[in-house]
Every structure is written in C-alpha cells, then in structure tokens.
Chains A and B, each alone.
Chain A
Amino acid sequence: MVVTNKPNLSTRESLVIETTKDFTNDLNNLTQLQQKQVEAKLQRIEKAIETNNNDYLFKHLKKIPAINLSKYTSSLHLLKVNHDLRIFLFYEDDPIFNRQVMTLIKVCFTQDLNKVLKGLCESFYQENLNSLGEFDHER
C-alpha cells in the first residue's frame, strides 16, 4: 500500500527546486517528446506552487514507503510524469531557512523503478538502510 503525506505549502515562505547533474543527464537521454513531457510536468508543478494548489501536488507526488532507514525517515518521493515516466526527487521541509526544498534526482521509465530505487538507496543511505521493499508503481 502506498502511504502518502500531503505536502504542507502554507507554513513556509518559499520552495526551492534544485536540479541535479544526474537528472539533467537522464533528461538529455530521453527523446525530444519525452523531454517535453517532463518539462511540461515540471511547469505544471511550478504553477501549482505559485498558486498554492496543494491538491495538485498531493495528487501527483507520492512518498516511497518501501525504504526503511535506521536513523531517519526517507524524504524520497516519486512524481508521475505519465504512464511510462517517473521522476525521483527529495522533498523536504527546511525550517531554519523558512522554505521547502525539492531536489530532482533521476528520471526513469516505469519498468526500471525498482532498479533505480535500489541504486539511489545505496548511494544516499548506505549503512543507514535497514531494508528496501519492492515498490508497487501501479498504485
């Protein structure tokens, strides 16, 4: 079962969207049409943020429940672009700087989700990873 946390847009002053090198490389490896689809999705997210449209983000941004860490809770989320494409991103509250941060990490095809998720967990969580379940991307 997918557990989702509704993002709370009302408590912070701003949201920062960070694009990583890996994300840009993945994007460049897609077809032109796929790139346009990803960019269109991100533009809709930006519009939702600017208009405080909480429901739109809640509908399209899903937390990944399969990651079990020893020290903290993972902030890794999945953004659905379309039936075939997903974006992995970190979505976090930053109270000291009064903002939220969304870090775009990877773009991948739906059939590669679990493989990419495993790689990301190994990179970012290393010895803090207790267990990693299979992620049901159909939900």
Chain B
Amino acid sequence: MRDKPLYDEYGVIREAWKILPPEFRDKFLEALAELEDNECHRQRSFPKTQLHRVTGSQEAVYRAYIDKISGWRLHIMYEDGAIHLKDIISPEKHDPVIEVIKSKKYRYQKSQVQDNNKKKSNKNKK
C-alpha cells in the first residue's frame, strides 16, 4: 500500500531543524513517518501525533503533536488526499481553548445514488 504523500512547500522541515531543540528531532521524524503511514489513515488512528482537526478554520487544518508534554506541534493541511506541512508551533504559542463537554455522532443516511455509484466504481476496479 502506497504511503500518504507528504509535501513541504513552506519549508517546515528546514524551520524545524533551526528551531526545534535537538532532543525532539527523533520525535519530529517519528511524527512525519506517522503522517505518511497509510495504515494510520486507513484505521484513522494516530497514536504518536494524536492528529486532530483544528477548530475555527474552513480549510482542513490539523494539529499533530511532535511532543505533547513539551508542546511542540505541527499544523498540517489535508488537500486532495495529501498531507501538506504548514507550520511548526513552539510551546510558547498557546492554542485557543475549547472545552468540549459533550459530543454526539450522527450517521448520514446513504442515498440510493451513492450506493449505486459505489457499486459501479467497485465493478470498474475489478
């Protein structure tokens, strides 16, 4: 299975090399590796980076921890099935606090059209 493409148009890796304390460099590499790991995306589970959606922006911006205890983290964007590194955030910069006390999930009803389209695309793959 191919890995998830990861792009660094904004030079985040270079910036990380300049500002990230040396003791976090291995963790930074581990974070990048997890973001590229297609198995993590397939299972929607990111145990090292605890990848999660950043609230407040229309664009698909996510936060990935390099090291949660220290506060070093990455902002990434998800576009067209690829990960784009956007920023490396230092512990001094604080994220807005949103205290969620209740969360409820609602499944959308699948339409007949969606089901038919899915069957057609599966048939074409064979």
Question: Which positions in A face B, CB cutoff 8 Å?
Answer: 9-10, 12-22, 24, 46, 49-52, 69, 71-76, 90, 92-99, 101, 103, 105, 123-126
Contacts and interface: CB of A to CB of B under 8 A. Distances in A.
Given A50-B109, A72-B61, A96-B62, A16 B56 contact: no
A46 to B, nearest CB: 6
Contacts of B56: 72, 74-76, 90, 124-125
Given A73-B57, A90-B55, A92-B55, A16 B98 contact: no
B65 to A, nearest CB: 15
Given A18-B103, A50-B106, A124-B55, 7 more contacts: A13-B108, A14-B108, A20-B101, A21-B99, A71-B57, A75-B56, A96-B78
* Interface core residue of A75, A93, A95, A96 (most chain B CB under 10 Å): A96
Contact of B107 (A14, A72, A74, A94): A14
Contacts, number: 102
Interface of B: 41, 44, 51, 53, 55-62, 78, 96, 98-109, 111, 114
Contacts of A9: 108
A17 B103 contact: yes
Chain A's interface: helix, strand, loop or mixed, by majority?
mixed
Contact of A51 (B51, B61, B105, B109): B109
A18 B102 contact: yes
A93 B103 contact: no
B109 to A, nearest CB: 5
B101 A24 contact: yes
Contacts of B78: 95-96
B108 A52 contact: yes
A27 B60 CA distance: 29
Contacts of B51: 96
A64 to B, nearest CB: 11
Given A95-B60, A96-B41, A98-B44, A10 B101 contact: no
A94 B78 CA distance: 9
9 contacts: A13-B107, A16-B103, A19-B101, A19-B103, A22-B99, A90-B55, A96-B60, A98-B44, A124-B55
